[in-house]
Amino acid sequence: MGVERQPWTMALQRTGGLFAGAELTTSVRSADLDDESREALERHIEQAGFEQLAQRSPITGPGADMYQYEVTLERGGRRSSVVVSQTAVPDSLRPLVEWLEQRAIDEQ
């Protein structure tokens, strides 16, 4: 069943970086988005192959003082999380991380 058929919640937690305490978080529910935003985010979730990435998590890469992202999807009674370092964000996941990160920044 596709993402659009079930309500979902997506959350981002960004930690690490050069400055201690620079945590950034956001959470979004499909029911709270306008149609255009919801459809865009659902495309990002599907194109990322999110649940398959969650099975490979954590995904690490080189580099000290880099951000670490934890992206969590809850839908249909299931919870999947991807933990990935800034230098190892897969291209398929990048649009989703960037969308959520920008939302978190806008909420500050």
Q: Is residue 106 part of a domain?
A: no
Q: Is 33 left (phi over 0), alpha (psi -120 to 50) or beta?
A: beta
User: pTM score, two decimals?
Assistant: 0.86
Q: Which domain holds residue 37?
A: 3-96
Q: Is residue 104 part of a domain?
A: no
Q: Would you call the peptide bond into 95 cis, given omega within 30 degrees of 0 as the criterion?
A: no
Q: Is residue 103 part of a domain?
A: no
pLDDT in tens, 45-56: 999 999 899 888
When divided into structural domains, the chain yields a total of 1
pLDDT in tens, 2-44: 444 789 999 999 998 877 667 899 999 999 999 999 999 999 9
Q: Is residue 59 part of a domain?
A: yes
